[in-house]
Amino acid sequence: MLMNLSFKLPKTLKKILAVLVIGVVFLFFLKILQQNWLEISDKLIRPKISWLFFGFCGFSGYYFLRIYAWRKLLKLAGYFLNFKQAGEVLMLSEFARYVPGNIWSVVGRVSQSEKYGIPKTQTLYATIIEILTLLAASVLIGGLAGLFVKDFAVWLKLLAGLGAISVTVIFWFSKLLKLIIKWLLAKFKIQVDLEVYSLGQIYALLFVFVLAWLAYVLGGLALSLAFFDLNLNQTFLILAAMPLGWFLGYISFLTPSGLGVREASVAAILKNTLGSSSVLIAAFTRFGVTLVEFFWVLVFAWRYLKQFLLQIWRFLRQPKGLVIVVSAAFGLYFSAISVLMHSKVITGRFDLGNMDQVVWNTSQGRIFQFTNPYGEEIASRYIHHADVILLLFAPIYWLYASPYVLLVAQALIVAFGGWLVYRLAKKILGHEWLAAFLALSYLFYPTLQRAVMFDFHGITLGATFSVGMVLAYTEKRWRAFWIYAALLAMCKEELVLMVATFGLFILWRERKEWRKAILATIFGLAYFAMNFLWLMPAARDWQPSKYNFQYETLGSKPSEILKTLSENPKLFLSMVAGNQARHLYAGLLGPVGFLPLASPLWLAVAWPDFAVNLFNDRIEPRLLNYHYQGTITGFVFVATIFGIAAVRKRAGPFWERNIRNRLKFKFETVIIVLILATTAIESYRLSPLPYSQRKDMRVYWRAPMAPIVRQAVAKIPTEAKVSATNTVGAQLAHRQYLFQFPLGIEKSDYILILMAKAGTLEWQRNHLAAEALAKDQRFKLIGQKDNFYFYQRVW
């Protein structure tokens, strides 16, 4: 009976619906915050501390009065608990509401009360009386406050009447409830004498809950006043919205503790009067009351939470727990850093803007299209790359269209790779701590961290998918293998050759899997041929690729490349073993102690990206600052794991016979020390994190031009054609036509220029066109601040 107080939905369906409701509300909040961030951020800088304190006191008063009411209910039934015991029961059961599927907290209340000798039926009866009275009090307070709000919604004013009716009904409901509960007890043949509360006792309970709600709404009002200046009408509106929003959230049967429903209800009530601030008030009230609730849970139920925290600590001391926590920290940190970099106008049209525009166009029905960044025409993304994994993000853009989706997804997917490295290492090496430290090495791998911080690229996701593909192969989970292989192939056009090569590798290692191996190879070669021989040339109208010039040293055609290699082998050697190549190898292999060299065939699976990077005439693909080594990283760690296994197989017996007896160190311990040392040294040398010698601190710098750029961007309609410099272009991708300044001036409705520092390459490309634009009478300068210029076409 206790488990059926909510709607009788299957547990899995309820969890899915809960996630969907919370997700939709979260995206709704995030969209409003993004659209109004300039207005909102100004109000968050200096909160009024005194009002925050009063907010804490108000919310604390709410919980203290509820504890008093619960203690009184039990006392009237003949069960005596002191205030701390009653607080322990109530606060722990309230804490249980945050578990999906246990919304009403009744089960927690019953189990906690039973420890003090209170029968289940009496606790259930008292809890239902408490719930009904609390709901009635919330509607009553909200409805009464709503009577003093100008232009308040009629349906909300009707809730005042509903509150009065509820108060009346609660008096006679007690007798009806007694009959229902006694009928249920008789049906289940349970003989228990039930203490029923009188109408006068319920009336007193209602009075206490009215006081509790006054404390709650005053706490929420104080929290709002800490950030906003409110007039009298807005004050009454907030006093009405908070209990009514709580009421709607409490009766929602899907989300834990009404999460999302309550905030959306409060925001909807406040939105017409307070605009975008309504979202912030709703979110801050929920955040504030949750913090206060957790604080008093700690106070009243410390003995239980101490055990819980000890269990968490024991979990974190395990290898698996360490990997999960550090992976989560990686995902959260780099998600935040990436979002901040975009909000501070550090990201670029190359490449986040290009990716974002492709996904946005796809979500609008223009599949895989964008404005050619090297021209002025609408084109297929296939003219440059076959990173069709971008298409998978389009459905998310139907709910929330923002480049933040790509940036956060990239950080989280790469973070998940740490877990996959741990699982692969544990399976191959059979040593949990060694596996855990290899996963940490992956997460602190400098090249991977820099790739995550450099906009969004499908090739960066390839690090996770490549490890997942190998893990699935070793575990013989072939369905997962094909999923990871397909995802890897979708990340960039040459990566499918890694799938094909891996198929040959499987055929060489395990002849019994020859069917799957040949299928992987055929799939890889066929998909590669389809892209290179059909889809990409057709998208370019069968013209040569723009990237051909980057390989002119070797030749623009396969026949020319073969001729160059046969006639000038020294050129080939200089490309694969010259200074730049050696620098690349050191940066890739150094953080893992060059252990991949012990299993070079696994590293050789990544040959397509090695070839693309080493033979490129530009230096950037051989640097460690960008995304080019993203997928190679995955195979570096695969090769490291199998390399350790190979070294142990060859040197293990010698170690056991001649060294371990003297030094008392296991072979795995030495490898752990080596991995820790090389990871720490290389991370200190090359990582973008603040402790590194080559730290990337751009996100921590002040960005005075960012709000000015965003203000200008907000003024431009989506259908307008825009030409913009690189960093500004990343803010403008949600349109069909986005030209890379100085291209597209003749077609543009707006032009935005954020001039780079004088003397830089970007300044050299743009300054002459910017000077000419200043004299062009077709455009009017409608905004200018320092090195930022905002033009609008006037004729």
Q: What is the pLDDT of residue 101?
A: 44
Q: Residue 164: pLDDT band by 50, 70, 90 thresholds?
A: low
Q: How far apart are CA 436 and CA 698, in angstroms?
A: 31
Phi/psi region, residue 765 (left: phi>0; alpha: psi -120 to 50; beta: rest), is alpha
Q: Which of 74, 66, 69, 88 is nearest to 289 (CA)?
A: 66
What's the pLDDT band for 593 if we cut at 50, 70, 90? very high
Residue 91 — very low, low, confident or very high, per pLDDT cuts 50/70/90?
A: confident
Looking at residue 715, its pLDDT comes to: 94
% of the chain with per-residue pLDDT over 90: 54
Nearest-10 Cα torsion for 138, 139, 144, 145: 60
Q: What is the 3-state secondary structure (H, E, C) of 139-201?
A: HHHHHHHHCCCCCCCHHHHHHHHHHHHHHHHHHHHHHHHHHHHHHHHHHCCCCCCCCCCCHHH
pLDDT at 1 over 60: no
Residue 45: is its pLDDT beyond 60?
no
**Confidence (pLDDT) at 187:** 61
pLDDT at 83: 92
Peptide bond into 351 cis (omega under 30): yes
Under the banding of pLDDT at 50, 70 and 90, the label for residue 43 is low
113: pLDDT strictly greater than 90: no
783 three-class SS: strand
Mean pLDDT of 91-102: 63
Question: How far apart are the C-alpha atoms of 454 and 270, rounded to whole Å?
Answer: 39
Phi and psi for 117 in degrees, rounded to 5?
A: 80, 20
- For the chain, the structural domain boundaries read 2-33+50-313, 320-347+402-686, 348-401+704-795
- 9 pLDDT above the threshold of 50: no
Helix 120-146 × helix 49-76 angle, to 10°: 140
Q: Which of 413, 415, 371, 423 is nearest to 389 (CA)?
A: 413
Q: What is the tens place of the pLDDT at every residue in 401-455? A: 999 999 999 999 999 999 999 999 999 999 999 999 999 999 999 999 999 999 9
Question: Is the confidence at residue 98, as pLDDT, over 60?
Answer: no
Q: Which residue has the higher pLDDT, 481 or 271?
A: 481
Residue found by looking up tokens 């957790």 in the block = 294
Q: Stretch 309-338: mean pLDDT, rounded?
A: 91
Joined together, the tokens standing for residue 283 give 């979110």
pLDDT of 156: 62
User: How far lies 368's CA from each of 358, 365, 409, 616, in Å?
Assistant: 5, 9, 19, 26
Strands 788-793 and 738-740: unpaired
User: Could you give phi then psi for residue 723, rounded to 5 degrees?
Assistant: -115, 130
Backbone angles phi, psi at 371, to 5 degrees: -80, 125
pLDDT attached to residue 258: 42
3-class SS at 117? coil
Parallel/antiparallel/unpaired status of strands 750-754 and 738-740: unpaired
**CA distances (Å), origin 696, targets 167, 590, 693:** 61, 20, 9
Residue 762 near residue 725, CB atoms below 8 Å = yes
Which letter, b or e, does each residue of 349-358 get, where b requires 16 or more Cβ atoms within 10 Å of its Cβ? bebbbbbbbb
pLDDT tens-digit readout, 373-400:
999 999 999 999 999 999 999 999 998 8
Please give the Cα distance from 356 to 361 (Å, whole number). Answer: 8
Write out the H or E segment, with its range, that includes residue 366.
none
- Is 90 exceeded by the pLDDT of residue 530? yes
Here the tokens at position 365 are: 């029905």
Report the phi/psi class of residue 717: left, alpha or beta, with left for phi > 0 and alpha for psi in -120 to 50.
beta
Q: pLDDT digit string (tens) for 216-234?
A: 999 989 988 888 888 887 8
Is the pLDDT at 256 greater than 80, yes or no?
Answer: no
- pLDDT over threshold 50, residue 652: yes
Is the model more confident about 120 or about 520?
520
Q: Given this model, what pLDDT does residue 163 score?
A: 64
